[in-house]
Structure formats: C-alpha cells, structure tokens
A = this chain, B = another copy of it.
Amino acid sequence: MIGMDNDAKLRVMQERIIKSYAWQRDIIVPLSKEFECTADELEDLFFSIFDLGTLEALHGTFESAEDICMYQKLNADLRLCWFVGTLEVIDPEDAKKLKMKLIQEIKNGKSYEDALKEGRLEVFELLKKEVKY
C-alpha cells in the first residue's frame, strides 16, 4: 500500500474485511436482501457507520447476537412468554434448557422450522408433566 494516502489505505483495509467470505455469507448477502438494496449500498453504509476496529469485531458480535435473537424468537414461537411468564405452568429452567437445546440443534444444521416443530411437541410434554403434580 506504499504511495497510498491514509484514507485510501483505510478503505483497502475495510474492504478486506467486508469482502471476506464469512462477512458476505453471514451479513452482506442476507441483510442486503432484507433491506432490498445492493451489496454495494450496504457495504458503503457499513463503511460510513463503523470504524475499522468495529468492522473487525463485527462478525463475532453478529454470531452471538444471532444466538440471542434465536433464543427470543423460540421463546415467542413456543409461546413460552405465556406458559412460563403469565401462566407459570412450565418451569423456567425447563424452558431455558429446551431453548438452549434447540439452538444447539439449529447450529448443527437443523432448520428453524424443524426445531420449532420438535420444540412445540416438547412444550406439550412439559404441560402434560404438570398434570401429574
């Protein structure tokens, strides 16, 4: 990068990150679809919002945020805010264990839909357990 000014050097370093395979696959491609914009538009937006340090850390934060999002989504789709929170007929620990197990299965390749289907049957079992007490 000899002969380049600092702005140009910075841009090259930013581009190296953002054009990487993992970034494109996990962030740029899905997000530009959701935002109905081109990959270029989204990359420019990310260059403008984030400094180099944040860009470097971003992929890691994305993965952990995905887990948190998935946890919240399962909580909603399994109606656990109702069964655990409002009705208190499912033990919070049982609910947590179930969600963690499903997240692990999704990360191992199971589709969200299949995990949800399985999770719903397990919620039914947890409710039936309640009758025995």
Residues of chain A having any CB pair with chain B under 8 Å: 31, 34-37, 45, 48-50, 54, 58, 61-62, 64-66, 68-70, 72-73, 75-77, 79, 81-82, 85-87, 89, 120-121, 123-124, 127-128, 130-131
A85–B72 Cα gap in the complex (Å)? 13
Among A76, A79, A87, residue most surrounded by chain B Cβ atoms (within 10 Å):
A76
Whether the pair B35, A123 counts as a contact (CB closer than 8 A) is yes
| 5 intermolecular pairs with C-beta atoms under 8 Å apart | A31-B79, A37-B124, A49-B131, A54-B87, A69-B81
Whether the pair B69, A76 counts as a contact (CB closer than 8 A) is yes
Q: Which residues of B contact A120 (CB under 8 A)?
A: 34-36
Q: Which residues of B contact A34 (CB under 8 A)?
A: 120, 124
A62–B86 Cα gap in the complex (Å)? 8
